[in-house]
Structure 1
Amino acid sequence: MTFVELLKQIKTVELHEIRVDLPEKLEVVSTNQNLSQLTAFFDQFFGKPLKAPNEFPSGIAKKYAGPYGGIRSDQTLYCLHDGEVCSFVMIWPWSDNMLSTVKIFQDKVAPVSAPSGKAVQSFFKRFFE
C-alpha cells in the first residue's frame, strides 16, 4: 500500500469531519467508535504504533512528535521513515471521549535520524524482545 492509497482508504470510513485534504496531508475528525477501522489501516501501512494510547511516550516518540506539538500519554503516534520521507499518523483524542483528531502527513525532512524499515521501532525491536 502506498501513502496515497492509505489516504484513499481513510476516506472510505464514515468521518465526522475532513479538515484538510491535500496530497501529502489529511486531517480528519473521527468518532472513537469508527477509530478501530482507521487504526486497522494504520497498522497495515505502518506496523504497530511507535507510541500507543495510554503509554508514556518514549524518548524517540518525543523526538519525532516534538516538531509537531509533542505527544501526551493518551495520544497515538505512527511513524514510518524510508530514508527520504517520514510518514506520520497522530491521533489526538478529545476530552469528550467521543471524537479524535487524526492527522496523516508526510515530511521530507525527518525530525530525527532513524533507520529505514517497516516502522521506526523495528530497529529497536531487537533490543526489547
Structure 2
Amino acid sequence: MPLELIHSVENETRKNDALALLPLMEKWTGYASYKMGSMIGFGQYHYQYDSGREGDFFVTGFSPRKQNLAIYIMPGLAKYPELLNKLGKHKLGKSCLYVNKLADIDLSILERLVVASVEDMQEKYTCIDIGRL
C-alpha cells in the first residue's frame, strides 16, 4: 500500500525521492513500511497523556506532500541540533523535517538522524513492527 500512495504523487521529483526513501527508511529503522492515511509509517508505539488520552502512532515516517517531503522525527527535532546543522537545506516543525528534494540534503546525516530518533523512541516506548503483521 505505501507504493500506491507514492505512485499517486504527481510531482515526479517528489515521487522519485519517496521511492528512494522507502527502502532506506526500512533499512535504517528495521521496520516494514505501512500506509497511514497520507503518510508512510515505520514501527508503532502506544502513547498515553496525563489527561488520559491515548493512542497509537508510528515510530517514524514520511509523507510525499505536494509542496515538500515531510519526514517525521517523533522525539522532536530540538534534540538533534548537531545533525540538523550538517544535514543541508531543510525547514523544521516540532517533529517534522521538511525537505524540498533529497538532493538538497546529506543522506548519511539523515540516516544518523532517523536511527538516533528510532533508538530514542525504543528507549521510551515499547515499539512493534506492524508492517509485518
Q: Structure 2-normalised TM-score?
A: 0.34
| More helix as a share of residues | 2
Q: Structure 1-normalised TM-score?
A: 0.35
